[in-house]
Amino acid sequence: MSAGWHKVRDWFRHDPRGKWVGLALIGIALAVLPFALEASVGRTWVRIVDLALLYTMLALGLNIVVGFAGLLDLGYIAFYAVGAYSYALLASPHFGVHLPWWLLLPMGAVLAAFFGVVLGAPTLRLRGDYLAIVTLGFGEIIRIFLNNLNAPINITNGPQGVNLIDPVAVEGVSFGKTNTLLGIAFPGTHLHYYLFLLLAVLVMFVCIRLEDSRIGRAWVAIREDEIAAQAMGINTRNIKLLAFAMGATFGGVAGGLFSSLQGFVSPESFAVWESITVLCMVVLGGMGHVAGVALGALLLATLPELLRHTAGPLQQQLLGKVILDPESLRMLLFGLALILVMLLRPAGLWPSPTRRRELTSARAPGAI
Amino acid sequence: MPLLEARKIRKSFGGLQALSEVSLAIEPGEIYGLIGPNGAGKTTLFNVLTGLYKPDAGAVVFNGIELTGKKPNLVVEAGVARTFQNIRLFANMTAMENVMVGRHLRARAGALGAVLRDRATLAEEAAIRRRAHELLEYVGVARHAHALAKNLAYGDQRRLEIARALATDPKLLALDEPAAGMNATETASLRGLLEQIRADGITILLIEHDVKLVMGLCDRVAVLDYGKKIAEGAPAKVQCDPAVIEAYLGGALP
């Protein structure tokens, strides 16, 4: 690399003006991203990025439970379902209730947190495999309830799901259709993108702050050695329940946003496979490292889609016909990628900097 | 009034009577030793005193508060901190973070404070760091403050565990074989540390196998054998007690 490049890099990293310019550039790039995507590869991709941002929130929420506190939760998607359904039922013709989104999103968060505590409380004494099995069961229970609560009283509309959900609307601007602001046409997917981006960044911010705090340290202490943590005065019951509740909160918010984006929810969106996918994002990205987990979520949410859109045409072009169905190829490569990452980078693609600090510790005598 | 009093503690595991009617009283400011052959019930008693085990019968009273069967975190809150025989540090946290966890119960900041970083939270966090660093210096591992606990040398890990326990502001520090696996030099410097801790007003309960350390350091010693207290008193006196000699050497001398 040339000296000129280093000069530029150092300016962005260390010069206060450089930092602001860097942030502004990133901000502009993120702001024009949906338009660039639509112009180059089509609106489908804006939607894929929207979903990727939702997965980022989910993965960051699960990271609190699995990555920070070390509680293996295989039913995390249940909280996504709680958020999605609480939004859907109270903002659709199903009950004829149309509450505003700014009430429903916090409500979904609180309700999910409540479920986090309710489902977490019976598992407090369990660890490892046993905890995983019980949470797996809880996740399925929620989905099965949603699937069957259409009789005797129709609450969830069963497997048909809830349709015609009101999208988020700010000052009369509905995110469900294209709006023209300042002479620029913003389709609904674009507006959702900005909202999701804002909330994903907020969730990241909250996670980073929590990690470096009294609570974050207590979570990690429980992960490292629960008995020692208790012997150091940590109320392990409360701190574990707090982890379940915080993780579930983010899941609940993401669920409400999902309802707004899709306009339709049904139980099949919350199958156990979804829990596994989110867990894969956490593990692959770098368990316990906020930026790594966000990266893992973005990659795992977009790469399979990229493959789906390119594998077919590529085979057609090279071989004249489609030999491997893109859908099955996707799963095949997904599995292969997971195995490779676990073999080559067992701590994840972008693990926590603690591992790096380990190498430099000898040269930092007594410094705080 | 004794600082810690155990009254007729009984504890059995299945058919094994690990502790039968063990009573002891630790006075404020002393170093109290607990010795006995392997399997005598020392660690069991330790775990009962620190809340890890619930006794089948008997009572634990600390500083006038009944602690029997209370959870370990409440026992620490009352002022009894402990270390473990097989070191139980938070392996993937730095030495500094380990001690900071020890400050957990003397701090208040919750999740909201952590996110907002208001003035009170920042001040508290700074105080935690300051205290943690002081304690690392106190036990002599400050130069490894930012190394992961698992990468510390064995003796330093033992010291770090003591620093972490001290971070909870204990009145009584309970140490389970702190000199295990140490060489003579390390044991001598550990002894200096323990004397310093006592001089700073903290009472110490010590389980130890190193007879030289126990005899030289402790004000009083209790000897356990098969779950019973067979002797108690000044080290020199206990050393000559025929029951103690029998417990350690087996059978009466001809």
Q: What is the pLDDT of residues A267-288, one digit of tens each?
A: 999 999 999 999 999 999 999 9
Shortest distance, CA A222 to any CA of chain B (angstroms): 9
Q: Which residue does chain B place closest to A222, by CA atoms?
A: B90
Closest CB to B73: pick one of A213, A234, A242. A234
Closest CB to A214: pick one of B90, B93, B107. B107
CB atoms within 10 A of CB A181: 9
List B65's β-bridge partners, or say none: B62
Q: What percent of chain A has pLDDT over 90?
A: 61
Mutate to test the interface with B, among A224, A241, A250, A358 (most CBs of B within 10 A): A224
Question: Residue B11 in 3-state DSSP?
Answer: strand
Q: What CA–CA distance (Å, rounded) separates A260 from A104?
A: 11
What are the C-alpha distances in Å from A313 to residues A45, A131, A216, A306? 17, 44, 47, 12
Torsional class of B228: left (φ above 0), alpha (ψ -120 to 50), beta (otherwise): beta
A233 chain-B contacts, CB cut-off 8 A: 73, 76-77, 102, 104-105, 168
Q: Please answer whether residues A75 and A135 qualify as being in contact, where contact means their C-beta atoms are separated by less than 8 angstroms.
A: yes
Q: What CA–CA distance (Å, rounded) separates A218 from B101?
A: 6
Closest CB to B76: pick one of A214, A231, A357. A231
Least confident segment among A53-67, A335-349, B102-116, B142-156: A335-349
Query: Residue B251 — pLDDT band, cuts 50, 70, 90?
Result: low
- Look up residue A353 and give its two tokens: 């900097």
Q: Do B101 and A206 touch (CB under 8 A)?
A: no
Q: Please answer whether residues B136 and B142 qualify as being in contact, where contact means their C-beta atoms are separated by less than 8 angstroms.
A: yes
Q: Which residues, 6 or more positions from B23, have their beta carbon under 8 angstroms from its beta carbon? A: B5, B6, B7, B8, B9, B58, B229
Q: What CA–CA distance (Å, rounded) separates A279 from A273?
A: 10
Closest CB to B76: pick one of A216, A225, A233. A233
Number of H helices, E strands in chain B: 10, 10
A236 chain-B contacts, CB cut-off 8 A: 73
Angle of helix A290-319 relative to helix A326-344, nearest 10 degrees, comes to 140
Kindly state the helix (H) or strand (E) to which residue B44 belongs, with its residue range.
helix B42-49
Q: Do B104 and A214 touch (CB under 8 A)?
A: yes
Mean pLDDT along residues B217-243 = 91
Least confident segment among A245-254, A357-366, B83-92: A357-366
Q: Do B111 and A368 touch (CB under 8 A)?
A: no
Shortest distance, CA A246 to any CA of chain B (angstroms): 9
Number of A:B CB contacts under 8 A?
130
Comparing C-alpha atoms, which of B136, B168, B226 is closest to residue A367? B136
pLDDT of residue A346: 84
Q: How far is CA B42 from the centre of its chain?
A: 12
Q: Do B111 and A210 touch (CB under 8 A)?
A: yes
Q: Which residue does chain B place closest to A221, by CA atoms?
A: B90
Q: Do A225 and B88 touch (CB under 8 A)?
A: yes
Q: What CA–CA distance (Å, rounded) separates A3 from A264?
A: 54
Closest CB to B114: pick one of A214, A227, A232. A214
Instruction: Give B232-237's long-range contacts (Cβ < 8 A, gap of 24+).
Output: B232/B24, B235/B33
Closest CB to A209: pick one of B72, B103, B115. B115
pLDDT of residue A361: 45
Q: Please answer whether residues A112 and A263 qualify as being in contact, where contact means their C-beta atoms are separated by less than 8 angstroms.
A: no
B114 chain-A contacts, CB cut-off 8 A: 209-210, 213-216
Q: Which residues, 6 or more positions from A91, have their beta carbon under 8 angstroms from its beta carbon? A: A97, A98, A99, A101, A104, A165, A166, A259
| pLDDT tens digits for range A30-80 | 988 989 998 888 888 999 999 999 999 999 999 999 999 999 999 999 999
Q: Within A212-362, where are the H helices?
A: 214-224, 226-231, 236-262, 272-286, 290-319, 326-344, 354-360
Q: Which residue does chain B place closest to A228, by CA atoms?
A: B88
With 50 as the cut, is the pLDDT of residue A166 above it? yes
Of B118 and A178, the one with more pLDDT: B118
B73 chain-A contacts, CB cut-off 8 A: 230-236
DSSP line for B103-133: TGGG----HHHHHH--HHHHHHHHHHHHHHH
Q: What CA–CA distance (Å, rounded) separates A311 from B123?
A: 56
Using CA atoms of A314, A319, A321, A324 in order, give the dihedral in degrees to the nearest 10. Answer: -70
| pLDDT tens digits for range A199-235 | 999 999 999 999 999 999 999 999 999 999 999 999 9
Query: Residue A1 — pLDDT band, cuts 50, 70, 90?
Result: low
Q: Do B52 and A231 touch (CB under 8 A)?
A: yes
Shortest distance, CA B20 to any CA of chain A (angstroms): 25
Question: Residue B190 in 3-state DSSP?
Answer: helix
A365 chain-B contacts, CB cut-off 8 A: 143
Q: Do B113 and A213 touch (CB under 8 A)?
A: yes
Q: Please answer whether residues A175 and A195 qualify as being in contact, where contact means their C-beta atoms are separated by less than 8 angstroms.
A: yes
Q: Which residue does chain B place closest to A358, by CA atoms?
A: B147
Q: Do A358 and B101 touch (CB under 8 A)?
A: no
pLDDT of residue B249: 73
Q: What CA–CA distance (Å, rounded) separates A365 from A361?
A: 8
Q: What CA–CA distance (Å, rounded) separates A101 from A92?
A: 11
A362 chain-B contacts, CB cut-off 8 A: 147
Question: Residue A111 in 3-state DSSP?
Answer: helix
Least confident segment among A52-56, A193-197, A218-222, A317-321: A317-321
> For chain B, how big is the Rg over CA atoms in Å?
19
Highest mean pLDDT among A162-171, A231-240, A299-308, B177-186: A231-240
Shortest distance, CA B90 to any CA of chain A (angstroms): 5
Is the N-terminal amide bond of A122 cis, ω within 30° of 0? no
With 80 as the cut, is the pLDDT of residue B150 above it? yes
What are the C-alpha distances in Å from A344 to residues A10, A75, A287, A338, A348? 30, 28, 15, 10, 9
pLDDT of residue A362: 43
Q: Do B101 and A232 touch (CB under 8 A)?
A: yes
